[in-house]
Amino acid sequence: MATDLSVILPRVLIVSRRTVRKNKFVDFVGEYHLDLIVSYGAVPVIVPRVTGVHMLLDSFEPIHGVLLCEGEDIDPSLYEAEASNLSAEELEEIRRLHASDTAIDTEKDTIEMRLAKLCLERNIPYLGICRGSQVLNVACGGTLYQDLGKELTDKLPLNERVVHMDYDNYDGHRHSVTVVDNTPLHQWFKDSVEDENMEILVNSYHHQGVKRLAQRFVPMAFALDGLIEGFYDPDAYNPEEGKFIMGLQFHPERMRKVDSDEFDYPGCPFAYKEFAKAVIAYQKKLNGLTNVTKSLKLNQEMEKKRKIIIRSFSTARNIYEHGRNSSKESELEAGAEFLESNTALSLQQENRLKQMGATVRNSSSYIEKLKLNEKRERVARNVMGKMSVEQLSDLMSFYQMMGQICSEVLERKLHELVNELSSS
């Protein structure tokens, strides 16, 4: 029996971290994350970081949100590690000092990168804490400091240096950050920051961090040494509408008073609260589209006709896109007849389909346009071949943002079209 999506609680995927217990590997996720997700009305679904899981992510559908948190260093080959100019001796010293964090976990990297990119492609709510914020930045073309101590701290005056991790005081360590005005973080902590310095004390535990922030993001907080401690995508932030893309380098879930579950500030749990709100809204939007699709069930004869019409349009589109016309003209007649006789389509919709080359009668003009497009493509490839890696990365980030906007607009228009067809 098929599962009714309307009775599934909002699902948040969280990738586990691996450790060793009694000479065996054990996967785990910190309970603070799980408790907060559950308390705000969603269900955490743990994705084990075992070999091969990155090929099975479709099995975790439906995905209503993704929360990525702690873990080892991200594989430096996934970003511009060569720009760090660290010597072999320095890299070895870093490995000795941060032995528990510098062991690369390729499977976890692969799983989390795929999930991050899936969220960006489908506008699924995403919250990245600590490593999760770094994954998000790298997935969008940003880069990281491979080691803050060597690349940032050692180059600063003593009065500007920040201790970002304390192995002997995991939960109790704090350092100040300056919150950026008119950001979600400021909204959550506005009753706790002072107007003059806009500072709060945060818990952090990391020796890497954002070096170059991906173009689509806006900083929300800075440490004294200039390191970005939080960022978000303002074009993908509206929890009420199911939009939430954010990364926090610090740990709001661990900012609690000594021997107590009371938070340091009232705003500490708000990242999880607003994330869960977006997850719930995203699920409702997804279920709404699914229910519309469900309601349009056709009988066997109508379904057969529908497939013939779709095949006709598909053939016409191939002519439009590739200039090939190996099919018989009769295969295109079903689409042409549908456009001429189906009164369910408005004149505007009919014209739009014809403009897309949906009939054989106007396909030849599109073949000419195709040749022009091929010429433009050659010019574009020549120009981009001369661009730097950073320029190409910024360009890709821009078009990812455009793709996201197109996806949202297309989703709305398809929804409107289905409603129009249903009511006619």
Instruction: Name the one residue in this structure whose structure tokens are 């945060």.
Output: 202
Show which residues are catalytic: 130, 251, 253
Final residue of a domain: which of 259, 291, 323? Answer: 291
* 3-state secondary structure (DSSP) of residue 297: coil
* Pairing, β 175-179 against β 199-202: antiparallel
Res. 343: pLDDT tops 50: no
User: Taking each helix axis from N to C terminus, what angle separates 363-384 and 300-322, rounded to the nearest 10 degrees?
Assistant: 60
* 384 pLDDT tier (thresholds 50, 70, 90): confident
Q: Phi then psi for 284, rounded to 5 degrees? A: -65, -40
User: What CATH number does the domain containing 77 carry?
Assistant: 3.40.50.880
Q: What is the dihedral of CA 164, 167, 171, 175, to 10 degrees?
A: -20
Q: Which of 117-126, 154-163, 212-221, 229-238 has the lowest mean pLDDT?
A: 154-163
Q: Phi then psi for 274, rounded to 5 degrees? A: -70, -35
Domain count, the chain: 2
- Token pair recorded at residue 255: 């900012």
Final residue of a domain: which of 291, 318, 350? Answer: 291
Within a domain: 407? no
Instruction: Name the one residue in this structure whose structure tokens are 């590690």.
Output: 81
Q: Is 247 in the same domain as 325? A: no
pLDDT digits (tens, 9 = 90+) for 169-215: 888 899 999 999 999 999 999 988 876 778 999 989 888 899 999 99
Q: Is 262 in the same domain as 172? A: yes
- Token pair recorded at residue 170: 């995991």
* 361 pLDDT tier (thresholds 50, 70, 90): very low
In this prediction the pTM is: 0.67
194, 146 Cβ separation under 8 angstroms: no
Res. 53: pLDDT tops 90: no
Within a domain: 397? no
Helix (H) or strand (E) run with residue 195 in it = none
Q: Is 219 in the same domain as 333? A: no
- Choose the most confident range, by mean pLDDT, from 202-211, 371-380, 395-404: 202-211
Tally helices (H) and strands (E) across the chain: 12, 13
255, 202 Cβ separation under 8 angstroms: yes
Within a domain: 410? no
- Interatomic CA distance for residues 46 and 33, integer angstroms: 11
Chain centre distance of CA 203 = 25
- Interatomic CA distance for residues 242 and 16, integer angstroms: 25
- Interatomic CA distance for residues 180 and 234, integer angstroms: 13
Within a domain: 393? no
CA angle 346, 348, 335 (to 5 degrees): 70
Q: Is 46 in the same domain as 135? A: yes
Final residue of a domain: which of 263, 291, 319? Answer: 291
Q: Is 317 in the same domain as 185? A: no
Within a domain: 167? yes
Within a domain: 412? no
Sequence letter at residue 242: G
Res. 362: pLDDT tops 50: no
Q: Where are the alpha helices (DSSP H) in 29-105?
A: 31-39, 88-97
Question: For residue 125, what are the domain limits?
Answer: 9-87+96-291
pLDDT digits (tens, 9 = 90+) for 262-299: 999 999 999 999 999 999 999 998 887 655 544 455 56
CA angle 233, 160, 253 (to 5 degrees): 45
Q: Is 269 in the same domain as 310? A: no
Q: Is 184 in the same domain as 246? A: yes
Q: What secondary structure letter does DSSP report for 413?
A: H
Within a domain: 210? yes
Q: Is 175 in the same domain as 201? A: yes
- 118 CB contacts (<8 Å, ≥6 apart)? 57, 63, 66, 124
* Overall average pLDDT of the 146-162 stretch: 82
Give the DSSP letter string of 203-220: ----S-EEEE--TT-EEE
Q: Is 56 in the same domain as 135? A: yes
170, 212 Cβ separation under 8 angstroms: no
Within a domain: 418? no
Q: Is 257 in the same domain as 369? A: no
Q: What secondary structure letter does DSSP report for 231?
A: E
Strand partners, 136: none
Q: Is 194 in the same domain as 335? A: no
Q: Is 13 in the same domain as 122? A: yes
Q: Of how many residues is the chain composed? A: 424
Q: Which of 215, 205, 211, 214 is nearest to 226 (CA)?
A: 211
